[in-house]
């Protein structure tokens, strides 16, 4: 018995850090990822797809997002089981109760609204732990599984949950943390054969039978293995399971680090950016360190301006970036500066060399003065 485990689609995700030009491509990529999940389910002879929470970015979305979701799901040939998570809980404003959702929901799309075992296909049950608010006051997965009996011979039971397990959650005081030991006991005692979890956006194995599939498209530069779904096989007779990770993501989030202390270093960074493929679906955060002459810094700015036209995002990661600018005599030699411009250059050079808060502004002004003088030479 094979199925697709996925989660954290977060359809309608804002991606506020992207430009207005790139954001629609990002939205479309998330729907395209859902489409690929349906294609994989058909190609790999899967019995169903289970989505472990955060199907939608929030409960307050334009109805067009829901309509486009069902337009994509219309091509699925297997049942699709949705678990509400912390982004789209079953609260009073639940998106799953909105007319835009209920009026278009087909029979093969099922929302896990409680923890009663749901028979998705004959002989296979899914036990869900849906969220009813953004701040649960207990371990929802433990609550959903504590009274489960042993799985009947020849049958399969899967647990679908959402949230951070205790071995990963840095907030040990959170009442919603999923107790890892309790979860392992559920499988060990034969009360379920597999556990699929959402909330962590990178693929991660808690145990051989407990997995986070991760988000099908990247959502953060801190994710170490995003863009995947899981193909899970469970033997109804032996209860053994196997997991195959399938990468479907098209977007990339990269952190590029470089020391830049010369024009040659700027050229190396330029080449590194040039070599990155699929620029229109790649966001880059730059971590740059070093000291550059004014001319080299001006060229660096030009390189980054050009890259910004090509990539979905090029951004300096300010907290980790430290570039100093010095006014080298050769940068301004031959430009014929005199009078006010020369006096301004001398004052900026002195300020830029200091360590007070005005140094950074003086360095930026040096670059502007350099480009102004060069354009008129």
pLDDT at 334 over 60: no
pLDDT at 366 over 80: no
Strand partners, 291: 324
- Residue 331 confidence (pLDDT): 57
Neighbouring CB atoms inside 10 A of 252's CB total 20
Reduced 3-state DSSP string for 153-180:
CCCEEEEEEECCECCCCCCCCCCCCECH
Per cent of the chain over pLDDT 90 is: 77
The dihedrals phi and psi of 47, each to the nearest 5 degrees, come to: -85, -30
- Give the predicted TM-score (pTM) of the model: 0.87
- Residue 92 confidence (pLDDT): 96
d(CA 6, CA 211): 10
Contacts of 321 (CB under 8 A, 6+ apart): 286, 287, 288, 289
Neighbouring CB atoms inside 10 A of 263's CB total 15
Structure tokens at 40: 């994989």
Helices in the chain by DSSP H: which ranges? 23-43, 63-73, 99-102, 140-145, 180-188, 263-274, 294-310, 329-332, 339-352, 359-375
> Which of 121, 27, 115, 112 minimizes the C-alpha distance to 77?
121
> 77 pLDDT band (50/70/90 cuts)?
very high
Q: How many residues does the chain have?
A: 377
Contacts of 223 (CB under 8 A, 6+ apart): 201, 202, 214, 215, 253
d(CA 195, CA 139): 15
- Residue 335 confidence (pLDDT): 57
> 294 pLDDT band (50/70/90 cuts)?
confident
pLDDT in tens, 102-128: 999 999 999 999 999 999 999 999 999
The dihedrals phi and psi of 221, each to the nearest 5 degrees, come to: -70, -15
pLDDT at 247 over 60: yes
More confident residue, 309 or 357: 309
Lowest-confidence range among 17-26, 223-232, 234-243, 344-353?
344-353
Q: Taking residues 363-377, what's their average pLDDT?
A: 62
Lowest-confidence range among 33-37, 120-124, 231-235, 364-368?
364-368
Helix (H) / strand (E) element for 124: namely: strand 124-128
Structure tokens at 155: 């049958």
Instruction: Supply the mean pLDDT for the chain.
Output: 91
Per cent of the chain over pLDDT 70 is: 86
pLDDT at 251 over 60: yes
pLDDT in tens, 135-144: 999 999 999 9
Collapse the DSSP code of 83 into the 3-class scheme (helix H, G, I; strand E, B; otherwise coil) and give the result.
coil
Q: Measured between alpha carbons, how far is residue 368 from residues 45, 150, 167, 299, 300 in Å?
A: 61, 72, 51, 12, 13
pLDDT in tens, 254-276: 999 999 999 999 999 999 999 99
Q: Using an 8 Å Cβ cutoff, are 199 and 54 in contact? A: yes
Helix (H) / strand (E) element for 86: namely: none
């Amino acid at each position: 018995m094979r199925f697709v485990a996925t989660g954290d689609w977060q359809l309608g995700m804002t991606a506020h850090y992207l430009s207005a030009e790139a954001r629609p491509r990002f939205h479309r990529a998330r729907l395209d990822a859902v489409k690929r999940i349906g294609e994989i389910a058909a190609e790999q002879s899967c019995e169903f797809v289970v989505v472990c929470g955060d199907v939608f970015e929030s409960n307050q979305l334009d109805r067009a997002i829901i309509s486009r979701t069902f337009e994509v799901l219309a091509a699925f040939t297997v049942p699709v089981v949705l678990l509400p998570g912390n982004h789209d809980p079953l609260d009073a404003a639940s998106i799953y109760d909105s007319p835009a959702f209920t009026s278009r929901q087909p029979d093969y799309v099922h929302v896990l609204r409680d923890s009663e075992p749901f028979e998705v296909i004959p002989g296979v049950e899914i036990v869900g732990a849906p969220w009813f608010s953004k701040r649960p006051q207990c371990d929802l997965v433990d609550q959903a599984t504590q009274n489960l009996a042993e799985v009947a011979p020849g049958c399969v039971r899967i647990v679908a949950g959402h949230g951070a397990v205790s071995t990963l959650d840095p907030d040990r005081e959170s009442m919603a943390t999923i107790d890892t030991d309790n979860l392992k006991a559920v499988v060990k005692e034969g009360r379920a054969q597999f556990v699929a979890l959402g909330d962590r956006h990178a693929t991660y194995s808690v145990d051989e039978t407990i997995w986070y599939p991760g988000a099908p498209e990247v959502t953060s530069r801190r994710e170490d293995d995003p863009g995947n779904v899981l193909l899970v096989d469970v033997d109804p007779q032996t209860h053994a399971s196997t997991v195959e990770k399938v990468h479907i993501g098209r977007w990339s989030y990269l952190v590029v680090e470089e020391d830049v202390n010369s024009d040659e270093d700027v050229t190396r960074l330029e080449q590194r950016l040039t070599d990155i493929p699929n620029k229109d679906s790649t966001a880059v955060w730059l971590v740059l360190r070093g000291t550059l002459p004014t001319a080299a810094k001006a060229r660096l700015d030009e390189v980054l301006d050009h890259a910004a036209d090509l990539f979905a995002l090029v951004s300096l990661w300010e907290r980790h970036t430290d570039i100093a600018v010095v006014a080298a005599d050769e940068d301004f030699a031959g430009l014929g500066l005199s009078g006010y411009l020369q006096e301004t250059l001398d004052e900026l050079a002195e300020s830029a060399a200091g360590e007070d808060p005005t140094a950074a502004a003086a360095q930026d002004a040096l670059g502007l003065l350099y480009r102004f003088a060069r354009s008129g030479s």
